[in-house]
Structure 1
Amino acid sequence: MRNPRAIPTSSHGKTDNNARSPRAFTSESAEQIDYAFAEELEAPAEIAPAPKKRFGFWRALALGTAGALISLGLGLAAERLVRDLFAAYEWLGWVGLVLLALFVTALVVLIGREIFGLWRLRTLDRLRAKAALAYVDDDLVQAKVATDELTKLYGSRAELARARQSFENGKASILDGKELIAYAERSFMAPLDRRAKALTAASARRVALVTAVSPRALIDVAFITYESFRLARNLADLYGARPGFFGFMRLIGAIIAHLAVTGGLVLTDGVVEQLVGQGLATKLSARLGEGVVNGLMTVRVGIAAMSIVRPLPFNTEKSPVVGDFVADLAKLNPEKT
């Protein structure tokens, strides 16, 4: 008995006219992917070009000439004052000249500090943008440049000595740009983020307590403004910004712009009940409830400041939200036993 075999129903000489012919492609259109190390492909985020500043040259020219004229006027006034002092009494003229020299020295130091503060803020902005681009593109070369700048930025911080040592020991074995940025964030940003959250929570508690006990709304507004500025300054110093007066004003403007872009948080009584809890919110007095609301608004200022002065974007570490600080504010109203 013979073994069964398959017999074709059509002859080999005939071809199917309806069969699709194979498609050809060039080698240039092919993309080689190493599937052993390939992850989920993500389209890189498009970076919008910076908007062009209208009348930037004329604005700079106007400010520069106005500053030059004011400087000339102050210089002539100071020269006239010293000359009058010498005309009256010679020793009084020397005293005026020494005071003028001290004033000019202090002014130069303050101007240098302001320039350094503005430069430091711009350095953090550039470092954050560079790290974000290296993380999205998974560029190892750019990631090394960004992490080297970050290590140099925190090179003199004693509290980050262990983090620097740990990062230097482990970065040599990382061959992926995204992982290098993530490792730097875990090493350097994690301890600073914990400190920043503690500062924000403490500031929010102070605002809530003062609002709850203050007799006048004007006191509330003044203290909230003071505490918000103080929190922004402390967070800037924590992350290494160290802005001067004009740099701090620029930081405040950036925080206000960030809050405007992200949208205002309207905390009505219903939202407070949703955040704090139905049982606890019903026990809050009117003043204490207002204190919790003001405290949460102070938390928003702290979160915005962290997003601006943090030298690395939130990639692996969780970005803080308002709900993370509700438990601290809820402790202001302990339940009666």
Structure 2
Amino acid sequence: MRPELLDRMLSLLPQQGTRPELAQMLDMLHDYPRRGGKGVRSELLLLSAQAHGVQPGSPEWEQALWLAAALELFQNWVLIHDDIADDSEERRGRPALHRLHGIPLALNAGDALHAYMWAAVARADVPGALDEFLTMIHRTAEGQHLDLYWVEHGEWNLQEEDYLEMVRLKTGFYTVVTPLRLGALAASRTPHPEFTGAGLALGTAFQIRDDVLNLTGDPVKYGKEIGGDLAEGKRTLVTLHWLAHAGETQRHVFLDQMRRARPDKSPEVLDDILQWFRASGSVDYAQAYADAEAQRGLELLHCALEEAGTQSAALIRVVETLAQREA
């Protein structure tokens, strides 16, 4: 993430508390933003703004920077809530906020960051940005609801298309669609209609690769525990493809573990299941699906940017890296 974005985010937050308990709250508000992150979404927004004609240093660039800061604040409060909902152990290489301070305090910190996100949107003062953020939050919450509902109700009678619908809602909008559209709005341009289709395809590819990395990635580069999605009972393309082809014995073992709360799952059995996934061909299947979605999304994005008459080389390079991520 660009250093000026972190400075901008932190400038919105209170800098000191009037008593020790509130000083702790301020430390919590600063925690996830200071842990860093790739800043992929804010970078897409800024590159989209430049592709639509915004020059660094201009008043429009200043507006784009505030929108990018708002997007990063969105990412941080959502991650705090997501880690609580998933009972995650780690975030960006350190214990999740609720592991350090407990669920009630972490939830409150996430709520506070949510409010400061709107402060950044207000600072940007870009026509149409408010509606874009509302749409993004609604779509992301719908996708999160599907994800959590299936876990809460032990639902495994799902098809691959169920997962793909959830991912388009939960990941596609806030990862790619909204950054592209906000960049255009910062330039006082109407976002191209194909940004939605391109962004949903690219966001799907991004999430599938993230699911695969959770099973096979380097823990240091990935920033979260390997196998955490399995321990949390996440529905992924890998899992659903494997379930559709697994033998009865392995399927029974898997579903028995998934019926248990995370602390009651057997680490040894989960490790066996992880090896089954890797040996089954389901990981390769998911990677191939992500490749196809990435290619489709890039083709749609190329067409949209060409029709808009934008200088898009830098944006395309970042999107290609996003679509082909390996960490």
Shorter-chain TM-score tier: under 0.3
The TM-score normalised by the length of structure 2 is: 0.25
Query: Rg: which structure is higher?
Result: 1
Larger helix share, 1 or 2: 2
